[in-house]
A and B are shown apart, each in its own frame.
Chain A
Amino acid sequence: MMPLTELTVSRHNPLVDPSLHIWGWQIAVYLFLGGLVAGLMIIAGVRLIAIRPSQREALVCCTIGPIVGLTGLSLGMFTLFLDLSHKLHVWRLYTTFQITSPMSWGSWILLLVYPALVANGLAHLPEAIPALARRFPVIVTWSDFILAREWLVVAIGLSNMLVGIALGIYTGILLGTFGARPLWNSAILGPLFLLSGLSIAAATLHGILIIHTPDDERPTFADFLLSSLTKLIEAHPLDPKVGPVLAGADNSFLTIEAALLILFLIGNTTSTSVHQQAASLLLGGPYTAIFWVFVIGMGIVIPLILQSLELANRIRHTLAPSIFVILGGLALRFVLVYAGQQSHWLEALNR
């Protein structure tokens, strides 16, 4: 067969037309992971302060959460790094602080997250993973140092809550301050992403708890893998009593998130023609189906129903709502990042 000869006539060369689509999957994934970490920090902080010395076994929030958070944050920072055009200039963000720049706020908040999470995770690490503590005895020293000082425990817990709230709100405000993108230009995105992050975090911890709890309906190979992993790190059994608390908290987070989403849509549809057009991307436009099915339907309504049935002891606690909430949170970021970049001021002029 003859090779195809194709000659581009015009405007097919990259960057001839200005590209209005700047942010891709990296940003959506970063915002998701940022929200998850924020939620994990807040839950870990609350739990650290509320925990009594006698219930030391309730460690899913205080130890596993920070470990997942540190991993998630590192992944998120990596995707953010992937998005940078000038990757070697990243250090310059830390030579200045611009009070009006959300990105400057963000880069400094991200720097505070690590020590706060590490301190929170260390507090009960020797009890959660004794094998690790035996290998590195210094962990026990640090843990004892923290637990011996009541004020330090409270300080770590409070700083986790505060930094977590700042991080969660920052992931939304990062989009919200873009005046050029009408869909994003709403302060509701801050609390919306914070609450969504909290719901993802609660669902993640609930999911980890469920995976960890023995279950006779689970395939044997899965149980085998899990039990070998547990034996390997000699972890203590996690406290299943936290499960219903997490599910209940998740229901509240999801409810508030749904209310904020509705407010977000009301705000846009009652605003200028530009904002109405931006909202119409989700109300009849090209993102309608993915928004209502994946974000609202599968991400909020179905997990709410499932978790309510779980809390009413009508069905078993399963992985399903956790997976739905996590995928829904991811879908929310993807829809908003992509739809936001499609909304702009010129379209209203062209009408």
Chain B
Amino acid sequence: MNAPFYSFGLFGDQASLVVAFIIGIGFGFFLERAGFGVSPNLAAQFYLRDMRVLKVMFTAIITAMTGLYLLSRIGFVDLSQVYLVPTFLVPQIVGGLLLGIGFVIGGYCPGTSCVSAATGRVDGIVYVAGMFAGVMVYAEAYPHMLGFVHMTSMGQITLARLWDLPYGLLVFAVVLMALGAFVVAEWTEKKFGGMEPDPKGWLSVRPWRVTPVRVLVLGLLAAGFVALAAGSPYRGNHVTIDTKDLALRAGTGADTIQPTDIADWIVQDRNDYTLVDLRAAKDFDAYHIPGAQNLPMTSLSANSLARNQKIVLYSSDSTQAAKALFLLETQGFKSVYLLNGGIQGWHDTVLFPVKSPGMDAAAFEKLALVAKYFGGAPRETSASTSAALAAPMAPTPAPTVAAPVMPAAPAGGIPAAQHKKKREGC
């Protein structure tokens, strides 16, 4: 059994929400036991009198980080399947400031307010009610502030990827930082809070005495050292490919996606896939499928693609696309697909569809609408246009007939190509 369980299909959407509820109850229970359901305890953090928030949070961070790191190194967790919240720098800074203001006014953060409400404190209950009201206002206002929300997109980045550092080094550095923070926290509590250091605390007892907390600290340090030596937790270059599976998928066509499906996804404005154009930049500029990203074979690298999305590859040469698929699979990508027929397939089945003898009128009507939407035109017989790959005509100015598959096509153009794809949080 491999983790993350949800990504590997151990349970579905509904069951995952029930699991989330149980995990949330556990999280809330420990927050409550740490004293986070009482706002004076949280406020004391800002006066440097009682640093328990910092201690608990750093403990949680390093426990989760070293745990995830080690579990992924031994192959239990596939880190590439763990969802990372995409970074939108400016909106997230503004959001962080708003959250901070709310924290100062209300005395809680969202999580601790739930804990406080569950312990029956009236201020917590009022805070939670206010939070839900805020969520509703935001949801209603969201369509009107898309431009701001999607500003300064940086994708799903991690510090290691941003600074090009080894993951292990970062793990080690954060462990050191956390241990340093604990020492500083003890000092500030003594200095500002007037707390006497615990005579049995890990900093106070005789240097060579072994206490449980010291064992924990040493364990964390050891985990940090292991991380330093062990390298990247992503399975990078060490993947093994199941040749049987590869052959099966190639043989049954399970690794190809039909051009008409891609057309539907574009029309539906879906955002769970990345379309990659492998041709040279010159050809890409001449024509490409709306929403595609140009990554010529020579510049294809693992860092430029999100690991938790479907990746659909196409080129003018299907051998080249197949090579790219193999290359990405050796780099640990799980769901890479080929566009059936490449750009020529797109041209023949989506832009200039042909009415085949057995096809009923309604189905062809739909194909024709989709073709017009992308700036192509349906053909009655395959002989009527040249097989040469020509750039299609200018897209129809305004689709006046909206088929059920494309409810809201904006006037004059191809939506997916124009505005940025939505990438929502989980």
Binding site for B on A (CB under 8 A): 1-7, 9, 12, 217-219, 222, 284-286, 288-289, 292-293, 297, 302, 306, 315-316, 318-321, 323
Q: B411 touching A2 by the CB < 8 A rule?
A: yes
Q: Identify 19 new A-B residue pairs, CB closer than 8 A, beyond the known A4-B408, A289-B17, A293-B18.
A: A1-B411, A4-B409, A4-B411, A6-B408, A12-B404, A217-B121, A219-B123, A284-B12, A288-B15, A289-B15, A297-B18, A315-B119, A316-B120, A318-B119, A319-B122, A319-B125, A320-B118, A320-B125, A321-B120
What is the chain B residue whose CB lies nearest that of A293?
Answer: B21
Q: For A302, what are the chain B residues with a Cβ–Cβ distance below 8 Å?
A: 25, 118
A306 to B125 Cα, complex, angstroms: 16
Q: B401 touching A288 by the CB < 8 A rule?
A: no
Q: Does B299 contact A (CB under 8 A)?
A: no
Which listed residue, A9, A315, A320, touches B404 by the CB 8 Å rule?
A: A9
Range class of the B interface residue count: 20 to 34
Q: For A323, what are the chain B residues with a Cβ–Cβ distance below 8 Å?
A: 125
Q: For B121, what are the chain A residues with a Cβ–Cβ distance below 8 Å?
A: 217, 318
Q: A320 touching B120 by the CB < 8 A rule?
A: yes
Q: B14 touching A286 by the CB < 8 A rule?
A: yes
Q: For B18, what are the chain A residues with a Cβ–Cβ distance below 8 Å?
A: 288-289, 292-293, 297
Main secondary structure of the interface of A (DSSP, over half): loop
- Interface 0/1 of B294-333, CB less than 8 Å to A: 0000000000000000000000000000000000000000
B169 to chain A, nearest CB (A): 40
Binding site for A on B (CB under 8 A): 12-15, 17-18, 21, 25, 117-123, 125, 398, 400-404, 408-412
Q: For B410, what are the chain A residues with a Cβ–Cβ distance below 8 Å?
A: 4
Q: For A7, what are the chain B residues with a Cβ–Cβ distance below 8 Å?
A: 400-402
Main secondary structure of the interface of B (DSSP, over half): loop
Q: For A316, what are the chain B residues with a Cβ–Cβ distance below 8 Å?
A: 120
What is the chain A residue whose CB lies nearest that of B408?
Answer: A4
Q: For B123, what are the chain A residues with a Cβ–Cβ distance below 8 Å?
A: 219
Q: For A3, what are the chain B residues with a Cβ–Cβ distance below 8 Å?
A: 411
What is the chain B residue whose CB lies nearest that of A5?
Answer: B400
A158 to B18 Cα, complex, angstroms: 43
Closest 7 CB pairs of A and B: A318-B120, A289-B17, A288-B14, A320-B120, A2-B411, A293-B21, A289-B14
A316 to B119 Cα, complex, angstroms: 9
B110 to chain A, nearest CB (A): 17
What is the chain B residue whose CB lies nearest that of A316?
Answer: B120
Q: For A2, what are the chain B residues with a Cβ–Cβ distance below 8 Å?
A: 398, 411-412
A5 to B410 Cα, complex, angstroms: 9
Q: For A12, what are the chain B residues with a Cβ–Cβ distance below 8 Å?
A: 404
Which listed residue, B117, B402, B412, touches A6 by the CB 8 Å rule?
A: B402
What is the chain A residue whose CB lies nearest that of B124?
Answer: A320
Q: B15 touching A284 by the CB < 8 A rule?
A: yes
A3 to B134 Cα, complex, angstroms: 32
CB-defined A-B contacts under 8 Å, sample of 5: A4-B411, A6-B402, A7-B400, A320-B118, A321-B120
A304 to chain B, nearest CB (A): 13
Q: B17 touching A293 by the CB < 8 A rule?
A: yes
Q: B404 touching A222 by the CB < 8 A rule?
A: no
Q: For B21, what are the chain A residues with a Cβ–Cβ distance below 8 Å?
A: 289, 292-293, 297
Q: For A318, what are the chain B residues with a Cβ–Cβ distance below 8 Å?
A: 119-121
Q: For A289, what are the chain B residues with a Cβ–Cβ distance below 8 Å?
A: 13-15, 17-18, 21
What is the chain B residue whose CB lies nearest that of A310?
Answer: B120
What is the chain A residue whose CB lies nearest that of B123?
Answer: A219
Q: B17 touching A9 by the CB < 8 A rule?
A: no
A218 to B411 Cα, complex, angstroms: 56
What is the chain A residue whose CB lies nearest that of B116?
Answer: A320
Q: A219 touching B122 by the CB < 8 A rule?
A: yes
B27 to chain A, nearest CB (A): 14
What is the chain B residue whose CB lies nearest that of A319?
Answer: B120
Q: For B401, what are the chain A residues with a Cβ–Cβ distance below 8 Å?
A: 7, 9
A6-B402, A288-B14, A289-B17 in contact; A218/B119 too (CB < 8 A)?
A: no
Q: A285 touching B408 by the CB < 8 A rule?
A: no
Which listed residue, B12, B17, B117, touches A320 by the CB 8 Å rule?
A: B117
A296 to chain B, nearest CB (A): 9
A4-B410, A285-B14 in contact; A222/B122 too (CB < 8 A)?
A: yes
A12 to B18 Cα, complex, angstroms: 35
Q: For A297, what are the chain B residues with a Cβ–Cβ distance below 8 Å?
A: 18, 21, 25
A319 to B409 Cα, complex, angstroms: 50
A226 to chain B, nearest CB (A): 10
What is the chain A residue whose CB lies nearest that of B12?
Answer: A284
What is the chain B residue whose CB lies nearest that of A211?
Answer: B122
Q: For B13, what are the chain A residues with a Cβ–Cβ distance below 8 Å?
A: 289
What is the chain A residue whose CB lies nearest that of B11?
Answer: A284
Q: For A306, what are the chain B residues with a Cβ–Cβ distance below 8 Å?
A: 118
A219-B123, A297-B21, A318-B119 in contact; A284/B14 too (CB < 8 A)?
A: yes
Q: For B412, what are the chain A residues with a Cβ–Cβ distance below 8 Å?
A: 2
Q: For B408, what are the chain A residues with a Cβ–Cβ distance below 8 Å?
A: 4, 6
What is the chain A residue whose CB lies nearest that of B403?
Answer: A9
What is the chain B residue whose CB lies nearest that of A288?
Answer: B14
Q: A218 touching B14 by the CB < 8 A rule?
A: no
B373 to chain A, nearest CB (A): 13
